[in-house]
Structure 1
Amino acid sequence: MRSLPVTVITLLCAASVLVFGVWAYFAPVSFIDYVNYAPYNEHLTHDAGAFQIGIGIGLITALLWNNTLGAALAGFVVASGLHTWSHFTDRHIGGHGTDVPLLGATTLLGIVAVVLLLRRKAA
């Protein structure tokens, strides 16, 4: 059983990384203007947003699912999925032809692990 202060603090931490992560991922120019960082790198900003969103989802999942590995994997799957998507949408900027398939494969492995955890819990 978690105490109310721990739950509230965890939700505040999750909200902070989710707000900035969503902002960086979906409005990278505005985010970089706000943080006053130069030079602007769209893909790097997308990646930073993806990982912040994954951390936020991991924190929220940890509150909802009493399984530390499951919560960590949920955060990983979200971050890795968004990271894969940013490599796909930013492929015109650079990167390698193997980025999307390799990143996508690790995302799928994370999904498989979550499904296996859920099946084990259901059994």
Structure 2
Amino acid sequence: MIGVLLGAASMLVFGFWALLSPVSFLDYVNYHPVNEHLAHDAGAFQIGIGATLIFALIWSDALVVALAGFAVASGLHTMTHFMDRHLGGHGTDVPILGLFTLIALATLYLRLRKMKST
């Protein structure tokens, strides 16, 4: 359990750092030229990994853990594309990514409901 918490903490710390202070994070990892959107996306996915590890301590159902972690990462990924839309990308990025997040959340809800009823 300590290993899981340490892994989660490392992912969450570096993920929030990349998401909230991308230039500082990219300087630390010595990634140049600076690409703020790349750092934002990396942060979103690292937070998703950290959240997944925490969820694994809460739920024993692998599908619930995977869906919840994916929903966190996908939701943050959608947010980064919305925040960084002035940096490029496609007009369809946010709606498509948001749709995957909503599908994950709906599937997670149905799975949790099924677990409660059994």
User: Which TM-score band (shorter chain)?
Assistant: over 0.9
- Deviation string, structure 1 residues 39-78 (Cα, Å, up to 9, x no partner): 1100010000000000000010011111111111111000
Match of residue 50 from structure 2: 56
| 2:89 aligned with 1:95 | yes
Alpha-carbon distance, 1:30 to partner: 1.0
Stretches of 4+ moved more than 2 A in 1? none
RMSD: 0.6
Shift of 1:34: 1.3
Runs of 5+ unmatched residues, structure 2: none
The answer to whether residue 11 in structure 2 is matched with residue 17 in structure 1 is: yes
Post-superposition offset of 1:33: 1.4
Q: Does 2:33 align with 1:39?
A: yes
Structure 1 unaligned runs (5+)? 1-6
- Work out the percentage of aligned pairs sharing the same amino acid: 63
Give the TM-score of the pair, scaled to structure 2.
0.97
CA distance in 2, matches of 1:18, 1:47: 13
User: What is the count of residue pairs matched by the alignment?
Assistant: 117
- Are positions 1:112 and 2:106 aligned together? yes
